Structure 1
Amino acid sequence: MDKSSLPSESDIGRVALTVAESSPVVDFYRDVVGLTVLDSGRDRTVLGVGDRELLVLIHRPDAPARGPAGTGLYHIAFRVPSRSALGDALRRIESVWTLSGASDHGVSEALYLSDPAGNGVEIYRDRPKESWTETPSEHVEMGTEPLDMQSVSAVGTGEQSMPAGSDIGHVHLEVSSVAAARSFYADALGLRVRATYDGAVFLAAGDYHHHIGANVWQGRSEPHHGQGLAWFEVRLPDRTSLDAVRERLRRSDYAVSETDTGIAVRDGDDIELRLRT
């Protein structure tokens, strides 16, 4: 393994959101997205698929709203393992919620919506890697074409929950600077740049299309604060990988703190990233 890069087995772990009012948000992720409530208390609710935790909702009634200039979350992207599972998600959305967009990206087919607190959500399924196209510079080609909604809905089976094998495929951030995001997530953290577009960069461990996206499309300029994204995780395959990342971040002058499960660091917009095995 290249010691300057994250191992290809790395992926996204849990995502935590700070919400002022938890009940409607919990209902949304259970009934619309299709997650299962795994643990619930006064201050937080944990949801996931099977016994795997994916989403942590932190209840803070006094948390200030995210301002229009505040950086943070663009969307959480829940990945389902099949087109029929995507069809089921589309049917749930159309029956009880409002779809805000749907796209065929070539590498994937995706549905877009927002939760009751205004956090962006994507539900998508990947096409087989053999069908992806790479450029000579080892970037992956991703387009944006209209999704064939009728054919996606037609393969749904009526399932009300996300199936086993579903996870969080990527997290897309709104940042103040693409160059600064690239410096942190590629140069310091060790992700590979997989695609660049006007005002955006997409990065991944290994040859995935992206585990993290970062854009400046809304011109946000203030550090992350208040409601919305609290933190998100990248999972590493072993302790050796975690130690290598810790050392690389410290050499790049990022303050690294220890957690119960690994380490935590903040990017240039004060967005908290946690890393664990």
Structure 2
Amino acid sequence: MNTTLLSYSSLPAERIGVHPPMELPSVIRLGTVHLAVASLARSLEFYQRVLGFALLSQSTAVEGQAAVAELGVAGTSQVLVRLSEQPGANPIPRRGRLGIYHLAVLLPSRADLGCFLKHVHSLGVYVGSSDHNYSEATYLTDPDGFTIEVYRDRPRSEWQVSEEGEIQSALDPLDEAGVLQAAGKTHWQGLPVGTTIGHLHFYIGSLAEAAAFYHTALGFDIETWSLSGALFVGAGGYHHHLGLNVWAAGSPVATEADARLLCWELWLPDADSRDAAAARLQAAGYAVDSTPEGPIATDPWGIRVLLGAETSSPQ
């Protein structure tokens, strides 16, 4: 059956995606991704030399507390990835644990992606790639088995949607020559200012249960639903802030013995929208713990999300 494709810009915002009864604000931000790794030194070598992260802070292990490194973009203070050392943590087998599949580092431009691609080629590091229609992406695997996507978005005016408002995804070959050409003669200098965590992708056990947590309760729109075994959810019409797939269904949930995602952060515009999201999750029967940093909710597979507020609500 042929699907009529439309320009993303041709549909009003309310027709893009499937909206829950109470949805997240259109402007959200993914904050720090907290990972447990087996060797901090080994991970830092990869995240700094290969991926181009800058080391923002580092602490050594003390009794009861792990050694920690915080990574971001040079010249900025925003922590994008926080690594906690857990000596002896098991590496992640391919599709072998429910939990994180990949974290995705969003570069500001195609030229930046081209610079990154030249850089990893010069290091002799294996990198996978794909054209997703709305983005151009590369994929690497870190020393613990985490997949890292490094990508750039096309302008929304170039995205496509179906008549039903589903954002169209693809798994086409990357135009590597075009991406490299976009870089010109510029050399990689590490992650450029403007780099963010663009999205996260999780291995989960059930699409229905995932939709109940992330769509109905938390409030993400379902943006893409026709991919085999996956849902892509986002806010503000973005192609996806989260990917949710059952491609590893039947595998065990990551445990404290494994390299794993400890927590991810979802930042909402203000305390009112944060508290409303926490209340929806709690009302739906999900565990929501109060912490000094903010409410932390846990999905059916132990994936924890810290809900943050960019600004305090007026008293």
TM-score range, shorter chain: over 0.9
Describe how 1:1-277 pairs up with structure 2 within 5 A.
4-42=22-60, 43-49=67-73, 50-66=76-92, 69-156=96-183, 157-196=186-225, 197-225=227-255, 226-277=258-309
CA apart distance, 1:3: 7.3
Kept after mapping to 1: 8 A contact 2:288/2:297: yes
How much is the aligned-residue C-alpha RMSD, in angstroms?
A: 1.7
SS state at 1:15 partner: strand
Any idea what the Cα deviations from partners look like across 1:93-124, whole Å, max 9, x if unmatched? 11225234111111000001101111000000
Of residues 68-77 and 6-15 in structure 1, the stretch that sits farther from structure 2 once superposed is 68-77
CA apart distance, 1:81: 0.4
Matched letter for residue 7 of structure 1:
P
Matched letter for residue 81 of structure 2:
L
TM-score, normalization by structure 1: 0.95
TM-score, normalization by structure 2: 0.84
**Equivalent-residue separation in structure 2 for 1:263 and 1:136 (angstroms):** 38
**Equivalent-residue separation in structure 1 for 2:238 and 2:78 (angstroms):** 21
SS state at 1:164 partner: coil
CA apart distance, 1:274: 1.1
What is the aligned-residue identity percentage? 37
Kept after mapping to 2: 8 A contact 1:231/1:272: yes
**Equivalent-residue separation in structure 1 for 2:119 and 2:246 (angstroms):** 31
Kept after mapping to 2: 8 A contact 1:9/1:206: yes
**Equivalent-residue separation in structure 2 for 1:218 and 1:249 (angstroms):** 25
Gaps of 5+ in 1: none
Any idea what the Cα deviations from partners look like across 1:107-154, whole Å, max 9, x if unmatched? 000001101111000000000011111223222011111111112122
**Equivalent-residue separation in structure 2 for 1:184 and 1:63 (angstroms):** 28
**Equivalent-residue separation in structure 1 for 2:179 and 2:211 (angstroms):** 34
Which protein shows a greater Rg?
Answer: 2
**Equivalent-residue separation in structure 2 for 1:55 and 1:69 (angstroms):** 22
Of residues 70-79 and 223-232 in structure 1, the stretch that sits farther from structure 2 once superposed is 223-232
Kept after mapping to 2: 8 A contact 1:92/1:160: no
Any idea what the Cα deviations from partners look like across 1:226-250, whole Å, max 9, x if unmatched? 2121111111111110110111011
Gaps of 5+ in 2: 1-19, 61-66, 310-315
